[in-house]
C-alpha cells in the first residue's frame, strides 16, 4: 500500500544512511521511474512595488515530477521515495546607494565548513516536504504499485526600500538587487527496513537575477529587471552527485540564513542572526571581507 507524505518518525533514520549514486541492479529490479519531468516556468521574474516599505519580487517556479513504480513486495519491507534538495551556492545582495549592501548568507557555506546546506522544510529531514514530495510503499503486496511525487520552489522575498542597518534612514536608497543561487535536487529511494538508500535522479538548477532600482522615481516606477527574463532550465545530471551528510540534517536553509550589513567603510554587522546558531556570539558568525562577499 502506498502512502503519500508519510510522517513516520523512522524517516529521520535516513540521516545515518549512506546514499549511493548510480543505477544499481537490485534497485531497478524493485523501482522504475515511469515518467520524469523537470522545468522552470518560462516566465520572467515579477516585481511588485505596491508597498511603501518593501519591494517584492517573485521568481518563476522550479518544478520536478516523477511517477515511480514499485514491484510486488513479498516481505514486510517499507520503501520511501521522495525529493531531497540542498543549496550549494548563494549570493543575495541588496545595495543601498554608495553606503554598502545587505547580504543574506549561510555561515556554514561562507566559512567553508560545509559544501551544501539542507533545503528541507525543517520538520521532516531530509525530505524537501512531506505532502506530495514523498511516498511510502509497504509490503507484503502482490501487485505493482505506482505513485507520483512532485516538488516546486521559487523565491518571493521582501526587500526594504531603505537601508535596514540605519534606523534613521530617510528617503529610499535601495539601488540594486542581485541574486544567484544554485541547488542540487535528488530523487531518492530508501529501504527503511534494511537502511539502504540510492539516488534515482539528480537535478541541478540555478536562479539568477539582477534588478536595478532608481529610488528617486515615484513608487511603481523604480525597479527594472536587468537580467535575462528567460530562466535557465534545470540540468539533469548523467553522473549523480553523492549526497553529503550535511545535506541530510540540520541546519536547514531557513534556520541557518543570516542578514549581514556590509558597509563600504567599516566592519560588517549582523542585522538578523541565524535561528540555528542563536547561542553563538554574533562576531563569531559574521565572516570578514573576502573575494566572494565584497562584490557589489
| pLDDT, tens digit, 9 for 90 and up, residues 197-207 | 899 999 999 99
Q: Name residues of the chain where pLDDT drops below 70.
A: 1-18, 20-26, 277-296
Residue span of the structural domain in which 239 resides? 2-284
Task: Note whether residue 267 is domain-resident.
Answer: yes
pLDDT for residue 169: 77
pLDDT for residue 227: 97
Contact (CB, 8 A) for 190 and 87: no
Q: What is the DSSP string of 132-194?
A: TTEEEEESSBSS-EEEEEEEEE----EEESS-TT-TT--S--EEEEEEEEEEEEEEEEEETTT
pLDDT for residue 269: 94
Task: Note whether residue 293 is domain-resident.
Answer: no
Q: How many whole angstroms separate alpha carbon 116 and alpha carbon 109? A: 7
pLDDT for residue 29: 77
Closest Cα partner for 177 from 219, 223, 220? Answer: 223
Task: Note whether residue 290 is domain-resident.
Answer: no
Task: Note whether residue 289 is domain-resident.
Answer: no
What percent of the chain shows pLDDT beyond 70? 84
Task: Note whether residue 10 is domain-resident.
Answer: yes
Task: Note whether residue 239 is domain-resident.
Answer: yes
Q: How many whole angstroms separate alpha carbon 186 and alpha carbon 155? A: 20
Task: Note whether residue 295 is domain-resident.
Answer: no
Task: Note whether residue 199 is domain-resident.
Answer: yes
Count up the domains in the chain and report the number: 1
Q: How many whole angstroms separate alpha carbon 256 and alpha carbon 237? A: 27
pLDDT for residue 20: 60
pTM: 0.87
Contact (CB, 8 A) for 204 and 243: no
Please work out, in degrees rounded to the nearest 5, the angle formed at the alpha carbon of residue 142 by the alpha carbons of 138 and 145: 60
Amino acid at each position: 500500500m502506498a502512502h503519500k507524505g508519510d510522517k513516520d518518525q523512522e524517516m529521520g533514520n535516513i540521516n545515518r544512511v549512506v546514499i549511493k549514486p548510480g543505477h544499481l541492479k537490485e534497485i531497478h529490479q524493485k523501482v522504475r521511474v515511469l515518467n520524469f519531468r523537470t522545468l522552470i516556468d518560462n516566465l520572467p521574474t515579477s516585481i511588485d512595488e505596491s508597498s511603501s516599505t518593501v519591494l517584492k519580487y517573485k521568481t518563476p517556479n522550479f518544478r520536478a515530477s516523477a511517477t515511480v513504480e514499485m514491484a510486488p513486495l513479498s516481505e514486510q519491507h517499507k520503501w520511501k521515495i521522495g525529493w531531497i534538495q540542498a543549496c550549494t551556492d548563494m549570493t543575495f545582495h541588496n545595495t543601498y546607494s554608495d553606503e554598502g549592501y545587505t547580504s543574506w548568507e549561510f555561515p556554514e557555506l561562507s566559512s567553508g565548513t560545509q559544501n551544501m546546506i539542507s533545503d528541507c522544510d525543517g520538520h521532516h529531514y531530509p525530505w524537501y516536504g512531506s505532502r506530495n514530495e514523498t511516498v511510502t510503499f509497504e509490503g507484503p503486496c502482490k501487485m505493482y504499485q505506482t505513485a507520483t511525487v512532485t516538488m516546486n520552489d521559487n523565491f518571493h522575498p521582501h526587500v526594504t526600500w531603505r537601508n535596514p542597518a540605519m534606523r534613521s534612514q530617510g528617503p529610499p536608497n535601495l539601488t540594486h538587487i542581485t541574486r544567484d543561487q544554485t541547488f542540487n535536487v535528488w530523487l531518492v529511494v530508501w529501504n527503511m527496513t534494511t537502511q539502504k538508500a540510492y539516488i534515482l535522479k539528480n537535478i541541478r538548477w540555478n536562479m539568477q537575477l539582477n534588478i536595478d532600482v532608481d529610488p528617486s522615481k515615484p513608487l511603481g516606477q523604480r525597479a527594472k529587471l536587468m537580467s535575462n527574463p528567460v530562466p535557465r532550465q534545470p540540468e539533469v545530471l548523467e553522473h549523480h552527485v553523492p549526497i553529503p551528510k550535511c545535506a541530510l540534517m540540520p541546519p536547514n536553509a531557513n534556520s541557518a540564513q543570516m542578514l549581514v550589513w556590509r558597509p563600504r567603510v567599516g566592519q560588517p554587522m549582523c542585522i538578523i542572526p541565524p535561528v540555528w546558531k542563536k547561542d553563538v556570539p554574533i562576531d563569531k558568525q559574521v565572516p570578514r571581507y573576502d573575494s566572494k562577499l565584497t562584490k557589489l
